[in-house]
Amino acid sequence: MVNKGLKANDLVQRAEALIDIEMLECPSQDARYQEIIRIMAEAAPSFHSDSPSKEPPPLKIVAWTLCNLAFPDFSAQMTPRFLDLLASVEFYRDMNLKETKHLFPNIFEDEGEVKRSGRLNQNLEDKLIECTHETDGLRESFWNIVIACCIQHLTYLSNKPSLTDFWEQFQEYFFFLVDSGRSPLEFHHEMSESERDLLREAAGVCISESVTAKQHGKSVAPSQLMHYAGPMILHYVQTVCRQQEVLEEAISSL
């Protein structure tokens, strides 16, 4: 876990050195998206736009890409790739929490009154305890972001003349409504029944707002959900990154 992130800063610096600033600031969202993916493909060998690696790139490089895809504005057509990357952050969140629990079980014994292990500098251990507890509670934020992305993307697709793309994407996002098999989408993995219920509700929202409006010949305004999800995305990604940094510092001090 730790070794994988050691070269992350170098990768971020390399990515930033490859940026075509004019292209990144281009008003065309598609051009900006393609430029970011090109940069990442050159900066990180494990990063592929069409075939995401089962071994995700280092967390920092994933976080850098997510933030550049989401800001200053988020394009609905970026959603599938964005969700792949978001699932990579969730992968690291879960993996780092398991590593923390293995090395510092005292942090998880009693959240109300955590006993220090005595193996770390007091300030460092307090910092690890604080950011670990914050990271441990981010699963709900992950799903709130996923649902906002799915609804916005499907709203975008429902405005097309044909609903073919809408239904194809709908079946991918809500696969379990028609198929009991394993989904190829990373964010579905290890999904709990309560999280399935959240997706079922989102599916209902998409049907009622998008398809019903389409049947009545009305155009659905692009969803503003991502505008409100922006701060949540930043908080989620930055908190997971911070917890990994503190954990790496703690491990290196043992």
Instruction: Assess if residue 129 is contained within a domain.
Output: yes
pLDDT at 252: 95
pLDDT at 105: 92
Handedness of CA 17, 227, 82, 80 (dihedral sign): negative
pLDDT at 51: 43
Which residues of the chain carry a pLDDT beneath 50? Answer: 1-6, 15-16, 18-27, 48-53
pLDDT at 162: 85
pLDDT at 220: 57
Instruction: Assess if residue 212 is contained within a domain.
Output: yes
Instruction: Assess if residue 41 is contained within a domain.
Output: no
- For residue 22, the surrounding DSSP H or E stretch is helix 21-24
pLDDT at 35: 67
Nearest to residue 5, comparing CAs of 56, 55, 58, 53? 58
Instruction: Assess if residue 134 is contained within a domain.
Output: yes
Instruction: Assess if residue 156 is contained within a domain.
Output: yes
Instruction: Assess if residue 103 is contained within a domain.
Output: yes
How far apart CA 26 and CA 60 sit, in angstroms, is: 24
Instruction: Assess if residue 200 is contained within a domain.
Output: yes
For residues 242 and 130, is the Cβ–Cβ distance under 8 A? no
How far apart CA 149 and CA 140 sit, in angstroms, is: 14
pLDDT at 6: 39
Instruction: Assess if residue 191 is contained within a domain.
Output: yes
pTM, to two decimals? 0.81
How far apart CA 143 and CA 98 sit, in angstroms, is: 20
pLDDT at 118: 86
Helix (H) and strand (E) counts for the chain?
13, 0
How many structural domains is the chain composed of?
1
Range of the domain at 97: 77-254
pLDDT at 213: 66
CA 158, chain centre distance (Å): 24
